[in-house]
Structure 1
Amino acid sequence: MSDRTENLLLAAPGLLLLALAFFLPIGQMLVLSVDGPEGATLAHFSRFLGDGFYLGVLWRTVRLSLIITVICALIGFPLAYIMARVGPRARLWLIILVILPLMTSVVVRTFGWVVLLSRNGLIPELLRDMGLAGRTFALMQTETAIVIGMVHVLLPFMALSILGVISRIDTRLEEAGRTMGCSFLQTIRTIVLPLSLPGVVAGSLLVFTLSASSFVTPNLLGGPRLQVLAASIYKSVTQTLDWPFAAAQAVVLFAGILLVLIPYVRLTASDNG
């Protein structure tokens, strides 16, 4: 038996599981998205692309996902750098603090933000007491609430992705930059940031895809008025029972995420080659 045949036999159970758990549902979704009374049709996609409401939902999903990704990167990079450069004991506690929220249900964490951001919650009350907001000020059922909740949920993925890269950067490179006259910020900009870009890109892709497909947090914090694409799919499945249209929306979401992932896969493949 050749090595190639042996490797295929060893990989066969995993490939079969992947086919049953991923490719088969995706194939069924694709078939359902073009299902019509008289056979295959693109009417569901035409309905989606021709309706301003659904295009607005798509744009809101993409826009909020980009905003959440940028904020997570701006917070996650310095957090990851601090975790990578402090002592082992402090690093351990910082990693625990970052990972700890992941051990709590997303629903529980989101309801915590519901309490904090509600009209009589701690944050609006504090802003009103400081004179920074009016009596009718509210954060719940706004895009701001969605961004705050999603950043809290997804920040660990960004920080840990960047941490894995920064931890492998030789500190002597930073010392050399400082010796050559660079300030701390110049060293970060010219040495650390370029070398940590793979982690930033990987974390950004992870945060963007999770944000674009998220349902619970945007639905609870944004409410029915501010729908994202995942919530629209859920509504089509559970309320209007229009499964083919829901499948078409899911295909649009899936295709959009693929368009983001493919350039990264090609870039990493060319770098490895």
Structure 2
Amino acid sequence: MASHREDWAIAAPGLLLLLLAFLVPVGSILALGVRTEGGEFTPAYVIRFLTEPYYLGISWRTIKLSVVITLVCALVGFPFAYIMARVGPRLRLWLVILITLPLMTSVVVRTFGWMVLLGRGGLVPDIMRSLGLVRRNYTLMHTEVAIVVGMVQILFPFMVLSILGVILRMDPRLEEAARVMGCTFLQSVRRVVLPVATPGIVAGSLLVFTLSASYFITPSLLGGARLPVLAGSIYETATRTQDWPFAAAQSLILFTAVLLLLFPYIRLTRKAGG
């Protein structure tokens, strides 16, 4: 009991700060989406969102792009994290620096960089045109491909570092034993490394999905007005139309969707011993 009291005493300042700086403001915004001006409960704003095809289309686009971004990060991040775990400590340090260095640059700056690279006359369209893949004046801006490329570059470190932490705790002798028993390199990775790295892949996927679903700067700049996402719709509703209750209702729906992902993950990790 004494140790528990000490733990709570140490955590109390952080919990109080979290309560005052996060939970209270967020709770107030979410409550705004289900209340009238008189303070009475109303589901009108939520029903409006769920019955208008325009906002349902935005929700579907947000989910689709988030899933694609998560899959790309997982498919590329697992091999990269495995290589980082198996190289020497000095090279691993430089690879970690290479992965984390973009996080020190503003997301807006990186997004504007992608706008230059993917826009008309940019490096990527020029290379594609020189290979005969596209015609002159081709641009990738204001497409879903541009959103996926920009978001993968931003969220890739979160996936890699989540998987890397799990693989580093794995005993390399397990792979050696699998190779001695007749497994090829790919078989040992699939049967030994991949099951061990699954918690890291799940944690990284959850992190990437929730972040990509809540981003609005990069999708808004790379996708433009033709391809709005849910976070961008919330921003536009709150700043342009000044419809705060409806913006709060959209935030409530996004928050609920994230919670629906978090609860199964928490139960799975609890069964697996954390």
Quickly name the TM-score band, shorter chain normalised.
over 0.9
The one-letter code matched in structure 2 to 1:215 is F
The residue number in structure 1 matching 2:33 is: 33
Task: Map residues 103-118 of structure 1 onto 2, 5 A cutoff.
Answer: 103-118=104-119
User: How far apart in 1 are the matches of 2:130 and 2:2?
Assistant: 75
**Contact kept in structure 1, 2:121 and 2:137, CA below 8 Å:** no
In the TM superposition, what is the alpha-carbon distance from 1:135 to its structure 2 partner?
2.6
Measure, in 1, the Cα distance between the counterparts of 2:37 and 2:210: 33
2:44 aligned residue: 43
Deviations 1:60-104 (A, max 9, x none): 111100000000001100000000001112111111111111111
Shift of 1:145: 0.1
The 2-side partners of 1:21 and 1:234 are apart by: 20
- Cα distance in structure 1, aligned partners of 2:25 and 2:272: 32
Cα pair distance change 1:118/1:269, threshold 3 Å: same
Alpha-carbon shift at residue 2 of structure 1 (Å): 4.9
1:216 alignment counterpart: 217
Matched to 1:48, the amino acid is F
- Give the C-alpha shift of residue 37 in structure 1: 4.4
Deviation string, structure 1 residues 191-214 (Cα, Å, up to 9, x no partner)? 000001011011001100110000
Structure 2 counterpart of 1:153: 154
Letter in 2 for 1:90: L
In the TM superposition, residue 3 of structure 1 has moved relative to its aligned partner by 4.8
Distance 1:257 1:216 in 2: 19
Q: What pairs with 1:163-178 in structure 2 (closer than 5 Å)? A: 163-178=164-179
So what's the TM-score if we normalise by structure 1? 0.96
How many aligned positions are there? 273
Q: C-alpha separation between the residues in 2 aligned to 1:122 and 1:3?
A: 59
**Deviation, structure 1 residue 267:** 0.9
2:68 corresponds to 1:57? no
Residue in structure 2 matched with residue 88 of structure 1 by the alignment: 89
Partner of 1:236: 237
- Is 1:248 paired with 2:263? no
Residue 136 of structure 1, CA deviation: 4.8
TM-score (norm 2): 0.96
- 1:114 and 1:92 map into 2 onto residues whose CA distance is 30
Q: Supply the distance in 1 between the matched residues of 2:31 and 2:72 (Cα, whole angstroms).
A: 37
1:168–1:3 Cα change, 3 Å: closer
Offset of 1:15 from its aligned partner?
Answer: 1.9
- Cα offsets for 1:115-163 (capped at 9, x unmatched): 0000110101110111011235320000000000000000000001100
Q: Percent identity?
A: 62
Q: For the structure 1 residues 77 and 5, does the alpha-carbon distance in structure 2 shift closer, same or farther, using more than 3 Å as the test?
A: closer
Structure 2 Cα separation of the partners of residues 5 and 198 of structure 1: 31
- Residues of 1 paired with 2:4 and 2:191: CA distance? 45
Seen in structure 2, the aligned counterparts of structure 1 residues 142 and 96 have a Cα distance that, compared at 3 Å, is same
Q: Which residue of 2 aligns with 1:272?
A: 273
Check conservation: 2:78, 2:163, Cα contact below 8 A.
yes
